[in-house]
Structure 1
Amino acid sequence: MFKKIILLFVCVLFSTWGFAQSFLGWQLHDRYFSIYAGTGWTGYMGDLTNGNPMTDGLSHFNVGVEARLLTRIAARVQFAQYKLEGSDKNATDSSYNRQRNLSFHSKNYEWQVEGVYYFLKYRGKYHKRRTYEPYIAAGIGQTFYNPKADHTDINEVTNTYDLRSMNTETETYGSSAWIIPVNFGVKAALNEFLNLSLDLGYRFAFTGHLDDVYGHYAGPYPDGSIEASLSNRKDEVPEINQEAYDALVPGAQRGNGKNDGYFLVNINLELYLPQDLFKSKNGRRRKEKILGKPSAYD
Structure 2
Amino acid sequence: MQPTRTLKTVMAAAGVLVALLSGHTSRAQYEERYVGELGFTAGGAHYFGDLNTHGSLRAVKPTVGIFYRKYFNGYVGARAHFRYMALGYSDVYNTNDFQQRRNLSFNTHLFELAVQGDFNFFKFEPGSQDNRFSPYLTLGASAFHFNPYAYYQGEKYFLQPLKTEGQGMAIYPDRKPYSLYGLAFLIGGGLKYSLNRRINLGLECLFRFAQTDYLDDVSTTYAGISNFATKPDGSSTVAAILQDRSYVMGTPIGDAGRQRGNSRDKDQFATLELTLGILFSSYRCKF
Indicate the structure with greater strand content.
Answer: 2
SS of structure 1 residue aligned to 2:59: coil
Structure 1 residue 250 and structure 2 residue 244: aligned?
Answer: no
**Unmatched tracts of structure 2, length 5 or more:** 1-29, 167-174
Structure 1 residue 45 and structure 2 residue 48: aligned?
Answer: yes
Cα gap change, 1:29 to 1:56, in 2 (>3 Å): same
Residue number in structure 1 paired with 2:163:
167
Cα gap change, 1:138 to 1:189, in 2 (>3 Å): same
Displacement of 1:28: 7.0
> Which structure has the larger Rg over C-alpha atoms?
2
Structure 1 residue 142 and structure 2 residue 137: aligned?
Answer: no
Return the match for 2:275 from 268, 279, 283.
268
Q: Which has the higher contact order (CA 8 A, sep 6+)?
A: 2
What does residue range 212-227 of structure 1 map to in structure 2 within 5 Å?
212-219=217-224, 220-221=227-228, 222=230, 223-227=235-239
**Unmatched tracts of structure 1, length 5 or more:** 1-26, 153-157, 240-244, 277-283, 287-298
**Partner amino acid, structure 2, of 1:118:** N
Q: Contact conserved, 2:34 with 2:279, CA < 8 A, in 1?
A: no
Cα gap change, 1:102 to 1:274, in 2 (>3 Å): same
Residue number in structure 2 paired with 1:14:
none
Structure 1 residue 238 and structure 2 residue 250: aligned?
Answer: yes
Q: Contact conserved, 2:165 with 2:243, CA < 8 A, in 1?
A: yes
Question: Following the alignment from structure 1 to structure 2, what is the Cα–Cα distance between the partners of residues 55 and 275?
Answer: 44
TM (norm. structure 2) is: 0.77
Cα gap change, 1:38 to 1:99, in 2 (>3 Å): same
Question: Following the alignment from structure 1 to structure 2, what is the Cα–Cα distance between the partners of residues 28 and 210?
Answer: 49
Residue number in structure 2 paired with 1:184:
189
Residue number in structure 1 paired with 2:128:
128
Residue number in structure 2 paired with 1:88:
91
Q: Contact conserved, 1:202 with 1:262, CA < 8 A, in 2?
A: yes
Question: Following the alignment from structure 1 to structure 2, what is the Cα–Cα distance between the partners of residues 28 and 180?
Answer: 37
Count of residues in correspondence between the two structures? 238
Question: Following the alignment from structure 2 to structure 1, what is the Cα–Cα distance between the partners of residues 31 and 261?
Answer: 54
1:214-253 superposed Cα distances (whole Å, 9 cap, x missing partner): 11222421241100111011101124xxxxx54x212322
1:59-100 superposed Cα distances (whole Å, 9 cap, x missing partner): 11110010111331111110000000100111226x111111
1:31-74 superposed Cα distances (whole Å, 9 cap, x missing partner): 431010011011111111265334345x1111001011133111
Q: Contact conserved, 1:42 with 1:54, CA < 8 A, in 2?
A: no
Displacement of 1:128: 2.3
Q: Contact conserved, 2:58 with 2:93, CA < 8 A, in 1?
A: no
SS of structure 1 residue aligned to 2:256: coil
Q: Contact conserved, 1:50 with 1:88, CA < 8 A, in 2?
A: no
Return the match for 2:112 from 107, 110, 113.
110
Residue number in structure 2 paired with 1:98:
100
Q: Contact conserved, 1:50 with 1:90, CA < 8 A, in 2?
A: no
Q: Contact conserved, 1:53 with 1:86, CA < 8 A, in 2?
A: no
TM (norm. structure 1) is: 0.74
Structure 1 residue 55 and structure 2 residue 45: aligned?
Answer: no
Displacement of 1:121: 2.2
Q: CA RMSD in A?
A: 2.2
**Partner amino acid, structure 1, of 2:78:** A
Cα gap change, 1:195 to 1:31, in 2 (>3 Å): closer
What does residue range 68-87 of structure 1 map to in structure 2 within 5 Å?
68-87=71-90
Residue number in structure 1 paired with 2:204:
199
Cα gap change, 1:62 to 1:44, in 2 (>3 Å): same
